Structure 1
Amino acid sequence: MSSNLRVIRRKKSSLSEVKIVLFGAPGVGKSALTVRFLTKRYIGEYDHHGDQPPYKYELMVDSEPVLFELLDTCAKTAGELPSTKTLDWADGFLLVYSITDRESFSYIKRLHAHISQWRREAGPAATAPMVLVGNKGDMIHLRQVGYEEGEILARDMECLSFREVSASEQVTEVAEAFNDLCREVNNHRRKSKQSLLDRVLGGRGGLRVYARGKSDSALPKD
């Protein structure tokens, strides 16, 4: 574990646990974003051999300790879509494309259609929020996807936020993308608890159950 990583020594029960899955076409920089967020370091090349176990680290978000579990998925082809088990496991989705790769942007559109179908089949429990990230923002000279296109897609997909970032050059901006998603996961949980309380007390608001992540033993294995 990097000496730069601050480990929070608290009882596990006092932590907010957030399970995040990173989705995107091959080569968009999901692993680089993950490592930059967790260690503040940048590593440009990765040798992937399929999906790895989730990274588990305790970090501070808004002065509160959070146990992050980050699952860095590795699609073998631009046509491969995540399994239902992976979607069920997550509390939130970080959707990543490269601004230098038009096909990776198209992949996010196909991915969103896949997620939407999963939500329809799973029902009210499938409420994992999403953040859209356009990576490789330092490579403007190779841009194939405009910033406005990212904004429009994020709005169409009802993502809570959209950012263009550079895993190779930025630390704060990358961290904020993950933190945005963490905050929204916790917001969903608070709203779900309030909805449940309203239902129990005879409130008029409908019950909207938030799907908590499963235990480590339930990690998706395809």
Structure 2
Amino acid sequence: MSKAYTIVILGSASVGKSSLVQQFVGGQFQTSYKPTVEECYRRFIQLPDGGCTRVEILDTSGGNEFPAMRNLRIQHGDAFVVVYAINDVTSFQNAISICNSIFEIKERSNVPIILVGNKLDLGDSREVSTEAAANIAMDEIACSHIEASAKCNLNVKCLFQLLLLANLKKDMDASSPNSIRRQNSCPEYISRRRSEVTVRRTFSSSSCTSFKKKHMNEHDTLEEEDSSKCVIM
């Protein structure tokens, strides 16, 4: 059986890390908040190119009381989802710090990371602009960026698929003599599929129903069950 990739979920407390994982794994969204110490989920993920891979998703605590544990998880992780809330600029700053820590702890540059701006359904209270976050992700961190809503189940499957594609490309690059610089397949993958996805820059609806309805009316392309299509922010 093929190797299982370990995906580590990192970010500040209350940004929706567990909500993203639970929505992805079980299609559920819990309205009540319960701090996470650590949870592990195992499953198969089908990729947009038709492939399938085993993953272990490690949902970590957002607190700073266990830095040694977090560093250990980073050391053993294959790919990373770093989450911030678009309505909390402090969580974004912490996410940037976490991304930099991952590169330092892993002691290499070709680490698959996707920076996720969660709570897209709370666009009315946005504190982090899509453009600024995307620019920092691409130019300063050299990782991918996507915005999502765990509550509305928007881009949840997509972010895991894109991350795994980056990880698979990293494995292929490792055998190449030209793999010294940071490489990431997500921006390249997104660029290749721009004709198949819907590109939007801002959303301002705080209601999931109206949020989805507005998107469907304007674009008529969002299919929640079609995990090969993403809404790139």
Normalised by the size of structure 2, how large is the TM-score?
Answer: 0.69
Give the superposition deviation at 1:127. 3.5
Query: Is 2:166 the partner of 1:179?
Result: no
1:94 & 1:49 partners in 2: Cα distance?
Answer: 16
CA contact (8 A) 1:20 1:69 kept: yes
Q: Which runs of 5+ in 2 are unaligned?
A: 181-233
Find the residue that maps to 1:23 and give its secondary structure. strand
Query: Is 2:94 the partner of 1:107?
Result: yes
Identity of aligned residues (%): 25
* 1:148 aligned to which of 127, 131, 138: 131
Give the superposition deviation at 1:37. 1.2
1:150 & 1:81 partners in 2: Cα distance?
Answer: 28
Q: 1:158 is matched with which residue?
A: 142
Q: 2:112 is matched with which residue?
A: 129
1:151 & 1:45 partners in 2: Cα distance?
Answer: 30
Give the superposition deviation at 1:41. 2.3
Give the superposition deviation at 1:144. 0.9
Q: 2:22 is matched with which residue?
A: 35
Give the letter for the 2:141 counterpart: M
Normalised by the size of structure 1, how large is the TM-score?
Answer: 0.72
Residues 147 and 77 of structure 1, relative CA distance in 2, 3 Å threshold: same
Residues 58 and 79 of structure 1, relative CA distance in 2, 3 Å threshold: closer
Which one scores higher on RCO, CA 8 angstroms, separation ≥ 6? Answer: 1
Residues 112 and 49 of structure 1, relative CA distance in 2, 3 Å threshold: closer
CA contact (8 A) 2:14 2:62 kept: no
Residues 67 and 141 of structure 1, relative CA distance in 2, 3 Å threshold: same
Query: Is 2:63 the partner of 1:76?
Result: yes
- CA RMSD after TM alignment: 2.3
Give the superposition deviation at 1:116. 3.3
1:102 & 1:108 partners in 2: Cα distance?
Answer: 10
Q: Which runs of 5+ in 1 are unaligned?
A: 1-12, 196-204, 209-222
Instruction: Encode CA deviations 1:104-131: one digit per residue, 9 max, x unaligned.
Output: 0111122133223324xx3x4x642100
Give the superposition deviation at 1:21. 0.4
Give the superposition deviation at 1:81. 7.9
2:20 & 2:3 partners in 1: Cα distance?
Answer: 22
Give the letter for the 2:52 counterpart: P
Find the residue that maps to 1:48 and give its secondary structure. coil
1:96 & 1:75 partners in 2: Cα distance?
Answer: 10
* 1:55 aligned to which of 41, 53, 64: 41
Give the superposition deviation at 1:146. 0.9
Give the letter for the 2:172 counterpart: R
Find the residue that maps to 2:38 and give its secondary structure. coil
Query: Is 2:84 the partner of 1:97?
Result: yes
Aligned residues: 178
Q: 1:19 is matched with which residue?
A: 6
Give the superposition deviation at 1:72. 0.6
1:152 & 1:18 partners in 2: Cα distance?
Answer: 28
* 2:173 aligned to which of 163, 178, 191: 191
Find the residue that maps to 2:32 and give its secondary structure. coil
